[in-house]
A and B are shown apart, each in its own frame.
Chain A
Amino acid sequence: MRALLAHRLAAPVAIALIVVALAFILPSNFYLRVAALVWISALAVIGLNLLMGFAGQVSLGHAGFFGLGAYAVAVLPAQFSLHPLLALLAGALVCGLIAFVVGRPILRLKGHYLAVATLGFGILIAMAIANESWLTGGPDGMPVSRLTLFGWRVRGASTWYWITGALLVLGAWLAVNLVASPTGRALRALHDSEVAARVAGVDVAHYKLIVFVISAVYASVAGSALALVNGFVTPDSANFIHSIELVTMVVLGGMGSVFGSLVGAAILVVLPQVLTTFHDYEHLLLGLMMMVIMIVLRSGIVPSLAALIRRTRP
């Protein structure tokens, strides 16, 4: 059992099982839609977790990449009649390039300084999206044309559930592969000691850049997926609050835990829906629960519970 849990593929397999199982359990389209939103958030969170949890570099601007991905599938088909799938790829490419260019100077910074610099970057993107109304529809957002694949119009909660679920499993699989590779070891090493990693030959700046680009691409693809599912985009997808939400999901679920990324995303997407029944106390309760979780399970939900299980069942 423990060997099974420690296996490299444990997280993507568990996530795949959950996606399949929930498809049969969830009672209505409303729930399938919420689940699809969880899968999409979790995808972005896995990418951010590679950066934060494994490589130890914070980003408070990842909603910027998410927003660019979302607007790519809105703007490119509308303006240049690009196929939405190509638009998604173009968005990912552009985000990767931007991350590459911005990452070089930014990732030299550490800790709080890096946090503020990425924060600034995210705000810049959000402002650009909100201000360029001729292209993006400004603060009101813009519609996204429907996705058609080989003449088949993709629509319906259940279809999107499966597409986003598959995307999430793919993202989780790529992430665990990376973590278990020489690149992953280099990233985890520079998290713990940059100087020792460098002495071992790791080009620290290069590896930080690689993981920053990868995490930007994850966010972009997730953003594109959300836009396609919703059929609409607003600048909110790129804004600062969303960046904070993504970081919160990473920390809540567990830094350096791919499965934790899903847990963190699920909590922050589902809980507000559940708590709406408490009307005025919704935000109060949400904040309180987050605080309690972090105080009790201080390394995040999944790593803390895993450690607990290890200790009780030797």
Chain B
Amino acid sequence: MSILKVEEIGIAFGGVKAVDNVSFSVEAGTVFSIIGPNGAGKTTLFNLISGVYRPRRGRVILQGQDVTGLEPNRLARCGLSRTFQNLQVFFRMTALENVMVGRHLKERRGLLAHLLALPSTARQNRESAEIARQLLERVGLSDYAETPASAMPYGALKRLEIARALAAEPQVLLLDEPAAGCNPVETEEIETLIRRIADEGMTVVLVEHDMKLVMRISDRVHVLEQGQTLTEGRADEVRANPKVIEAYLGTHGTREASLALG
């Protein structure tokens, strides 16, 4: 069953078609990767799907429902969450509090109860903190729980965003370069994490430059180049596709391309 469907979606910035007529369909519980050279439009595509940008044309269908142009907070209610390539962390809050914000939609939100610190609020805080702690442990950040996010290293912040997104218990999770700037050990941890998330039934849409990771983990791979679809298929199909190798040749050079796709 297709849980996320993008139909002929497109947006332009000052005449530049950042995403142009892109369509794909993601099966529930799979890992679907979107790859392409720098500036191909991957992040823009994520922004269109997650409601950060409103598409100029095309549609986004989430769990059979047309959600095109809905605000991100409305999409969150529909079961979509994401992380950001350029970190969007709550830097004045601790790691634990960052993840607790991810629980927002699951929390009881009575303003009067909050102002008066009624027992229900204390209970809610404890419950959110408990779940946030488990998620921090899951992404390997237990030691940072009480650390202000501003004092955490880059690789840890990447995983913090994943924990925050998971806190919302989404059905569809968009990850924008989760392994960027991470060392090989961290990258492997992230790979294991994504695998486990998918095994639990969550659908993962992944943008990632680490081709080895992408090829190992993806059920399907969608290739973008200059805002347009180049090809889509199983990982081994895409890797063998001469058009893909050529696209990477243009930006990365022969050796890197064969390395990256090899």
Contact = CB atoms under 8 A, between A and B. Distances in A.
Interface of A: 174, 177-178, 180-186, 188-189, 191-193, 195-204, 210, 256
Contacts of B111: 183, 210
B82 A199 contact: yes
A193 B52 CA distance: 13
Given A200-B102, A201-B76, A195 B52 contact: yes
B84 interface: yes
Contacts of B121: 177, 181-182
A276 B165 CA distance: 56
A112 B169 CA distance: 37
A192 B91 contact: yes
A191 B88 contact: no
Nearest to B118: A177
B259 interface: no
A188 B104 contact: no
Given A183-B109, A192-B92, A195-B88, A200 B101 contact: yes
B102 to A, nearest CB: 5
Contacts of B101: 185-186, 189, 197, 200, 202
Nearest to A213: B111
Contacts of B161: 196
Contact of A186 (B104, B167, B168): B104
A256 B100 CA distance: 19
Contact of B117 (A177, A185, A188, A199): A177
Contact of B72 (A178, A184, A195): A195
B76 to A, nearest CB: 4
B108 interface: yes
B116 A185 contact: no
Contacts of B203: none
Contacts of A195: 52, 72, 84, 88
18 contacts: A181-B113, A181-B115, A181-B125, A182-B114, A182-B128, A183-B111, A188-B90, A189-B101, A191-B92, A192-B90, A192-B92, A193-B90, A195-B88, A196-B84, A196-B161, A200-B102, A200-B105, A201-B73
Contacts of B168: 200-201
B93 A192 contact: yes
Interface in B108-145: 108-109, 111, 113-117, 121, 124-125, 128
B116 A202 contact: no
Given A181-B114, A196-B84, A200-B104, A189 B76 contact: no
The 6 closest A-B pairs by CB, nearest first: A181-B114, A201-B76, A196-B88, A201-B105, A198-B72, A177-B117
B117 A198 contact: no
A195 B176 CA distance: 14
Contacts of B100: 185
A24 to B, nearest CB: 29
B114 A178 contact: yes
B177 to A, nearest CB: 16
Contacts of B52: 195
Contacts of A183: 109, 111, 114
A185 B73 CA distance: 15
Nearest to A198: B72
Contacts of A192: 89-93
A7 B160 CA distance: 25
Contacts of B208: none
Contact of A199 (B72, B89, B116): B72
Interface string B64-103: 0000000111011100011010001111110001001111
A188 B92 contact: yes
B107 interface: yes
Given A182-B124, A204-B73, A189 B93 contact: yes
A310 B219 CA distance: 49
B115 A203 contact: no
Contacts of A185: 93, 97, 100-101, 104
Given A188-B92, A201-B104, A256-B92, A180 B125 contact: yes
B164 interface: yes
B50 interface: yes
A198 B71 contact: yes
B90 A196 contact: yes
Interface in B3-52: 50-52
Contacts of B88: 193, 195-196, 199
B146 to A, nearest CB: 10
